[in-house]
Structures are given as C-alpha cells and as structure tokens.
Amino acid sequence: MRILLAEDDSKLGNLLKHLLGKEAMQVDWVIRGDDAIDYALYSAYDVIVLDWMMPGETGISVCDRLRKHHYQGAILMLTARDAVSDRVLGLDTGADDYLVKPFEFSELLARIRALSRRSNIKLKEEIVQVGELVLNCSSRNIKWRGREFQLSSREFQLLELLAQNRGKVVPREVILDRIWGWEEISSNNLDAFIRLLRKKIPSQAGIEIQNIRGIGFKLEEHDVC
C-alpha cells in the first residue's frame, strides 16, 4: 500500500513514517501543503494522510484543490481541531475521514486500511499506450509496432511518469523527486536524460517530449504520417 503523509511536525512525521513502514506501507512524507498537491497529482497513492495546519497550503486548501482537479483517491484528515464544525468543514471540503489528534496508531492504521478497502479507484494505468508506444508498467517492457526495445530502469521510470501524465506539464522538481529521490542530481543531468530518452524513442512513435522552459516537461501525442 502506498501512502502520502503530509505532516509538518517532524517528530510525528518521522514516527508515523517509521510505524507505517513497519506495516509494509510505502510512505512519501512531505511537510508543505503545496508539495502534497504536487505529489498527489503526479503519483498514485492508496490513501493521503493530510494534516490540517501546514506551511504553504493548509490541509483544507489542499483537499479542496485536489477535488477540484478531480482527484478521486482516499483522503484522511489528521488534525487537533475537534469541534463539530471543523469536522463538517473537513468532510464537506472532500476528506473521506477525519481523525483528531492525539490518537492511537492502531486507530490510524485501521482507518487507513478501511479507506483503502473502500476505494475502488484505479490509481494507475497498468498498460499505457501513448502514440504507438505500449508500456507495461508491471513488467517494465515497452513495445513499438509489436517489437520490444530496451530502456534503462531510470529511462523507463521517466517515460512512464510523463506517459501517465500525458498532456500535462510535469515540473522538474517532481521528476527529480519521483525518479531520483534523495540522490543528488542536477537539472542539467535531467536535461541529459531527456535528450538520451528522445534519441531512444523511435521517431515514428507518435509522441514528443516537450521542454516547458523554466517549469518542466510534457509528453504530447501526435499523428504519425
């Protein structure tokens, strides 16, 4: 199970990431609300655990913006606000559940599992076709006109991220974080990877990776002559 944890309290965030990790959950942890929006829109999560008070964007604002972007994944609001009016506001904004601090970890875990069971949303396409390329995101192979060709693991991850978000600009910082994580890599290195990926993709594949200056990259499909 994959969890996005948005919590600006470093002690609580570290503890929750550790405990959820022990439950075989993959946890991405952010401390800013605007980062939570970027992660949620460009990655697939089973549940988002969202603190109310964060820098950048509040949890309420994050929830509202995600729902306005038609985000359909499960959202659990985590907050010290225990007034009925606050709970109503959180749920009306789009949260699926609401847990008041302080809480027992066992209850948080049970609520996460319940939300995951109730969610029937297909969070990520298993087979992605862009142009004339067919990507199998499980086996990580790629075909063009029935023939397989090879990409390195990082190149496939990069193409998959752009393909899953085809037609949308994926910011550089999102790409760097999703593909390389904590590894040190410069924006120039990312440009080099993009150039290499473009060379490996058949020119008649019907796709184009566009450089959106100062922002990121976008994969666009076009007709093959």
Statement to judge: residues 168 and 66 lie in one domain: no
pLDDT at residue 122 greater than cutoff 50:
no
Quote the pLDDT of residue 13. 92
Largest Cα–Cα separation, the chain = 62
pLDDT in tens, 36-46: 999 998 888 88
pLDDT at residue 121 greater than cutoff 60:
no
* Domains held by the chain: number: 2
Average pLDDT estimate for 106-121: 79
Q: How many residues does the chain have?
A: 225
Instruction: Domain of residue 199: give its range.
Output: 127-221
Statement to judge: residues 183 and 99 lie in one domain: no
* Token duo for residue 160: 């998959």
Statement to judge: residues 83 and 138 lie in one domain: no
Q: If you ran DSSP here, which 8-state letter would residue 211 be given?
A: E
Statement to judge: residues 84 and 139 lie in one domain: no
Quote the pLDDT of residue 151. 84
**CATH code of residue 161:** 1.10.10.10
pLDDT in tens, 126-172: 788 899 999 887 777 899 988 888 888 888 889 988 998 888 888 88
Show Cβ contacts of residue 148 under 8 Å, excluding neighbours closer than 6 positions: 141, 142
| Among candidate residues 101, 118, 135, the one where a domain is terminated | 118
Quote the pLDDT of residue 225. 61
Quote the pLDDT of residue 48. 95
Which strand (E) or helix (H) includes residue 207? strand 207-212
Higher pLDDT among residues 219 and 140, named by residue? 219
Q: Which residues are bridge partners to 132 per DSSP?
A: none
Statement to judge: residues 158 and 90 lie in one domain: no
pLDDT in tens, 41-83: 888 888 999 998 999 899 999 999 998 887 878 999 988 877 7
* Token duo for residue 65: 């913006």
**CATH code of residue 38:** 3.40.50.2300
Statement to judge: residues 92 and 135 lie in one domain: no
| Among candidate residues 118, 143, 169, the one where a domain is terminated | 118
pLDDT at residue 24 greater than cutoff 80:
yes
Q: What is the pTM of this model?
A: 0.58
* Token duo for residue 100: 């008041």
| Among candidate residues 71, 97, 118, the one where a domain is terminated | 118
pLDDT in tens, 166-199: 888 888 888 887 777 656 778 788 999 999 999 9
